[in-house]
Structure 1
């Protein structure tokens, strides 16, 4: 610690304690008052790449064809579905859902136009349609008719005719797309390094704020409508089984579980802090000091988040708990050091003991904080805004934890002045580090050999790592969202939407060699009895501009694509223009429509059928078609990347499309892009993180050899857990993918503390083995106490219903345990075997003398 800083501690903290305490409390209270502005971002946009080009295309498609803001409500009545009783219950449920203020439209079996394929005619289609709630309907025949319509099977009704689904389309804000378009224009200028005027910069800030408020409104809307529908379910418990599903439901439950984890994890860590501190130190003052520092850090950090308007998301949901753990780690090191000072320097005054504790721990704690900052700073290379914000939050939080620990510890020690050595008989728990010292001394080569084998196995396991594939795996099997997704997948066509947009250019080459025929001759050839000349003229006039997809050749291609997409095992219901036209083809005697009939159909089709069959899947103006695929989240074979690769291969090699002719979009694409980006930015850049930490080790330890030896135990700990996940087939997800950064950031603290103390003990004792035993009897205990608390804290997450949180807690705890063992066995073994301090003991002694001074 610099002399000027030590003098500040002596003059203000130790001599004018109350004045300093009042000023600090006033500052903390001012910042903490903004905790009310702390919020959690519950929008689905928090799970996608902010600068993803696919996001811009996705929004363009949603603006044209409609959004993913809909919920599925599955209904499986106890009575047969196609009975008067069940139809009445279904209609009642549908009407109640439609009456909800946040529901715009509802699609259900009640609203579906039905026809008998054997009796309907294309010429009289308007009169041949009927609805299931019409009077005098033969429900047995209606069931047969509905199940014979391919479009309805696995969409509105299961193939066995026992389960149906209601699709509730939620009200959106028409301003969203307009505001987003305006923001994207300004962002585009910034990306292309075009300067923004002061007006444009302010406009950009205002647009971000408005969009944030809209996102909050959407999150509140989802919460309201999901709560209301769940309340409606209670009235139907005796008549059938109802589940909810859909993208808003997944996002809502995900955020809801994470909010619960915030409370569980925070309270769990707090309770464990009290319990472990009471067990380890057995004095009230240490508990009060530790919890005091942790509480102040938490309140202040939450206040800062409120001031800066940094929302917590799924990815950063453990921010507060991590800060509690990091603060606690710093304070425990100070407590253990103070107790050692009390034992070794009994003649010192109370103030001098505090000052000695602070000054001797300042350098190692400063470096541990810096290395932790570097580890979390690696998150900022991501393209995902919530991940970047998480990195910034942790950089701010770790810096704050360091300042508060080194400011509040001496203040609280002075305000609660009490000295005296602890007198208790140490049990096996407290002598654990001494036992590890004996094992390390006796089994040096064995420890090194085990570490090498673990490293090789870990590297092999890491090669099998993959990102997660299925939303359904995020939730325990007994949760409603899991059960609902299972029913929707198996009975009603799948959950997650994947969309494919195919442009006009994909089919233009097919028509390049076709000679244009006389429109008059074509209409004469295709003219059929029952159609008036005016109908034909109107159809011809409307089709002056050739619509290539709405030709018999185009429809044949669409059917070919439809058949392929339906043949993929992990895809459920595939909706498209081809699927919709299957209804008309059924009416036409299961024959494909001619060019004339297709042109006429666009004019004659009833409006309600047009909204279901044509409009969502065909953009007439641009002659562009859309396929909507519902992917089965519950299929264990689901691999998003492989699915996209298979479809692309079919389009390029079988359909002869160029890669510019078709585009993938939908939430499946956006979420997959986020995971792929996170995988690349975090896993593949770990080498950069280790490089920076290695450089910091070299600066701190002033020895390349010592720095390299210090890195190896941390590599073992982080890689072991990632390798274990690879071997066990557990994919990385948006939370577990940060385990490496977090475990490294916390584990290197132990390395720094151990090596820093080892240098001091070696300079004092002049013997490696004696220095090792001395370290295991002093600093190793602080490492042990902090690690046990950290491990216990993360293990609280096993109580969650959110599987990524459970995996995050289990594997982070395991990573910390392995890192602790590595730092207390492998690290001293490496020091004993390589003896990196032997040649420069004089310089070491001079450095440590300066540090102690």
Structure 2
């Protein structure tokens, strides 16, 4: 449709879509299995995973697409085409993930969790449990050491990354034993000077300036200097031809292999040459001269070094002559492309990180969370650039994609981790416990995707095409950096920075509460709907299925529970003769009602009449609210004190 031809970079698009797409799929399947554990029903499990990962998948897809679109800032057409195709593929992957996967699971998904998941003694479960215990131990007792190591790693990695060189080499893309590379090397040896070339174009103003001996001698000096440079090979120019004619006119005397001093001799020697002999080397008006430099260089880096050396020499030789020079060849396109890679790589990475910061900052309305989210995404980039610098792997068209993929994978896992952590801290009111619970739920999908993709991409190491080898190996290493970043660094930062959870715009817009809650609940007295939403989204929500009960005697003494949805019955246990216990319904509690264990005499419990959701409010929860909304916390504390003066509220 957009007339983009197949090319080497586009051939990697299926691999990239597989890498990023499978990351999302693993998180979906992990939550689907969690849903089956709660209730062995496909529809329930689908709704469960949708509720858990819908926001995270939307956000990760958006940031990843923006990341690849940033590559379109590049001036290299191959990279622009690659960015467009990959971004389109990621968009379609997002659509398929949201539509096809739930349909497939509805008809063909597992009906109950695999036995290995339900068996705590299975090999996989024991492995994950052991790893989780180690991670939780490090998080609890060594998170400061983790952050110190992170800082040292960043300093070392940035230093090593400065060693990276940009290079485009059309010969190096093949292994040394590859037939094509061997034939190229053979041709370079057999062809005098080499098979590559570039032009030095000299220009002078005036009336036929290069018919004058003084100017042509400068051309010959350059011609001779080039022939003396091993890295440049040989040169061909009109000056060399005229010097050769001059030598032969003096009985092949080597001393006369030079430009004659008389201008008239130059005009006479030109008569020996046909138009075919000189038109490639000098213009008809004698204002421009070409020097063809043949060489064996294929690396843009080596070529740039040679050109810089030659530029200094030309500046020295042509100083004060009025002669200007310029280089021209397809090699300069390679040099320009290699410089463009660095520029656009930096610009693209900055754009991606800014977009991630803005998206997460706006979504969670917290610059602190947005800033923390950048760290796990930057670590894999620093790590892989450090590896490239230390092992002298150049930045080329293939390896320049690694950073974007690193952010794509790291961002996916980081956002899933943040989303889960945000839920857990509301349930536990404790950052450390919330991070440990998050690790418990996220360790399987993160570890599974990272290791499987790392091993899968490592197969590219057996390719005969070096860019694919580097792409596969570097991407595999990137997966491992992202794995360590998500499982060690992210939780350590969340706990150490005392992140207290956040409410996303998505949650605010999608949360619906009955107006009855405001009018009937004593806990929400003197509050508006926005205040009520803030409390509900910040707190621990407990869910009860029809028939589920909650023993008030075992509940925390300072907790009050507000019914947000559904109906419950307050039931009293009364002892009868013998061991019989009579259950007496005391009251019906609707949405907006509150209950708690304070001055109730005897054992009581509440029983759900239908699906019911309740919000738990206690002093620890109010302390969390006080950090963000002191005014709201003050009202809530007053309402809690007032409510606790009665048995059922």
TM-score calculated relative to the size of structure 2: 0.71
* CA deviation profile, 1:493-525 (whole Å, cap 9, x unmatched): 1343222211233xx4xxxxxxxxxxxxxxxxx
State the alpha-carbon separation in 1 of the partners of residues 83 and 210 from structure 2: 48
Q: 1:108-187 alignment to 2 at 5 Å?
A: none
Change (3 A) 1:738 1:844: farther
Q: Could you tell me how far apart the structure 2 residues matched to 1:646 and 1:618 are? A: 24
Q: For 1:657 and 1:429, locate their aligned partners in 2 and report how far apart those are by CA, in whole Å.
A: 77
State the 1:356 CA deviation: 2.4
**Are 1:433 and 1:824, in contact at CA under 8 Å, matched by a contact in 2?**
no
2:211 corresponds to which of 534, 540, 550: 550
- Is the 2:72–2:84 Cα contact (8 Å) retained in structure 1? yes
Shift of 1:417: 5.0
| Residue 265 (structure 2) pairs with residue 568 (structure 1) | no
**Relative to structure 1, is the Cα distance of residues 642 and 658 closer, same or farther in structure 2, using a 3 angstrom cutoff?**
farther
Task: Select the structure that is richer in helix.
Answer: 1
Change in 2 beyond 3 A, CA 1:548/1:709: same
The equivalent residue for 1:580 is: 241
Structure 1 range deviating more: 735-744 or 617-626: 617-626
Report the secondary structure of 1:312's partner residue: coil
Offset, 1:684: 4.5
Query: Offset at 1:599?
Result: 2.2
User: Does residue 604 in structure 1 map to residue 272 in structure 2?
Assistant: yes
The equivalent residue for 2:643 is: none
Matched, 1:362 2:54: yes
The 2-side partners of 1:364 and 1:311 are apart by 34
Matches for 1:307-706 after TM superposition, within 5 Å? 307-346=1-40, 349-416=41-108, 418-424=110-116, 425-427=122-124, 430-431=128-129, 432-468=131-167, 470-492=169-191, 493-505=193-205, 508=206, 546-589=207-250, 590=254, 591=256, 592-593=259-260, 594-605=262-273, 607=274, 611=276, 613-621=277-285, 623-633=287-297, 639-656=302-319, 661-706=324-369
SS in 1 for 2:75: coil
Tell me which moved more, 384-393 or 669-678.
384-393
Shift of 1:328: 1.8
CA separation in 2, counterparts of 1:420 and 1:789?
Answer: 24
The answer to whether the Cα contact below 8 Å between 2:501 and 2:538 also exists between their aligned partners in 1 is: no
Whichever of the two has the greater Rg, that structure is 2
The CA deviation at 1:680 is: 0.7
- Unmatched 5+ stretches in structure 2: 117-121, 505-532, 544-612, 614-649
- The change in CA–CA distance for 1:839 and 1:776 in structure 2 (over 3 A counts) is closer
CA displacement at 1:769 relative to structure 2: 2.6
Match of 1:773 among 419, 436, 460: 436
Following superposition, the deviation at residue 633 of structure 1 comes to 2.5
Partner of 2:560: none
What residue in structure 1 maps to residue 537 of structure 2?
Answer: 846
Question: Structure 1 residue 634: deviation in Å?
Answer: 6.8
Structure with more contact order per residue of length (Cα contacts < 8 Å, sep ≥ 6): 1
- Alpha-carbon separation, structure 2, partners of 1:561 and 1:315: 40
Per the normalisation by structure 1, the TM-score is 0.55
Q: Secondary structure at the match of 2:111?
A: coil
Count of residue correspondences: 500
Does structure 2 retain, via aligned residues, the 8 Å contact 1:570–1:638?
A: no
Change in Cα spacing, 1:434 to 1:615, as seen in structure 2 (3 Å) is: farther
> What are the equivalent positions in structure 2 for 1:731-770 lying under 5 Å apart?
731-770=394-433
8 Å contact 1:760–1:848 — kept in the other structure?
A: no
Q: 1:399 to 1:329 in 2, by over 3 A?
A: same
**Residues 469, 313 of structure 1: alpha-carbon distance in 2 compared, 3 angstrom cutoff:** closer
Contact 1:378 1:741 (8 Å CA) reproduced: no
Single out whichever of 701-710 and 488-497 deviates more from structure 2. 488-497
Quickly say closer, same or farther: Cα 1:708–1:554, change in 2 above 3 A. Answer: same
| Matching of residues 782-801 of structure 1 within 5 Å | 782-801=445-464
Distance 2:235 2:534 in 1: 73
Where does residue 479 of structure 2 map in the other structure?
Answer: 816
Q: Per residue, is there more strand in 1 or in 2? A: 2
Preserved contact between residue 709 and residue 830 of structure 1 (Cα < 8 Å): yes
Distance 1:468 1:487 in 2: 23
Q: Distance in 2 between matches of 1:312 and 1:437?
A: 48
In the TM superposition, residue 793 of structure 1 has moved relative to its aligned partner by 3.1
Checking the alignment, whether the CA contact within 8 Å between 1:374 and 1:745 is kept in structure 2 is no
Deviation (angstroms), 1:318: 0.9
